[in-house]
Amino acid sequence: MKRQITTSKTPAPSGSYSQAIVSGGVVYTAGQGPFRPGSDDPVGDDIAAQTRVTLENLAAVLEAAGSSMEAVVKTTVFLQDLEEFAAFDAVYAEFFPDPKPARSTVGCDLGFFKVEVEAIAAGSD
């Protein structure tokens, strides 16, 4: 069984995917980016501002799923420019208590924004 998660606190999906799925007590989120609901433009033009909004969106999706940032066990991070990793990581560290989740970071072409983050978290069915 799987349950779809939807929240209006983050941008609606721009394609054929769910904001998150809960299955077997685990929450799997789609990648979240630096956008506000109803806007097609990223918030801010620096990595710190975009990371903050991205992680706020991730927290909102997790909350809608009955989970939280504290329950995240794994993240995958996509950065437009790996040279901005230190600035990204400084903001990221504010959002996750110890022990920090496992994390993979990938450099990739995100187009017109700088960061996207997806997560796997403990949740409830």
The domain locations on the chain are 3-122
How high is the pLDDT of residue 20? 97
47 is written with which tokens? 């990595």
Q: What is the pTM of this model?
A: 0.96
Q: What tokens appear for 43 in the block?
A: 């918030």
The position carrying tokens 């054929």 is 16
Q: What is each CA distance from 69 to 64, 83, 112, in whole angstroms?
A: 12, 25, 26
What class does CATH assign to 3-122? alpha beta
pLDDT of residue 14: 87
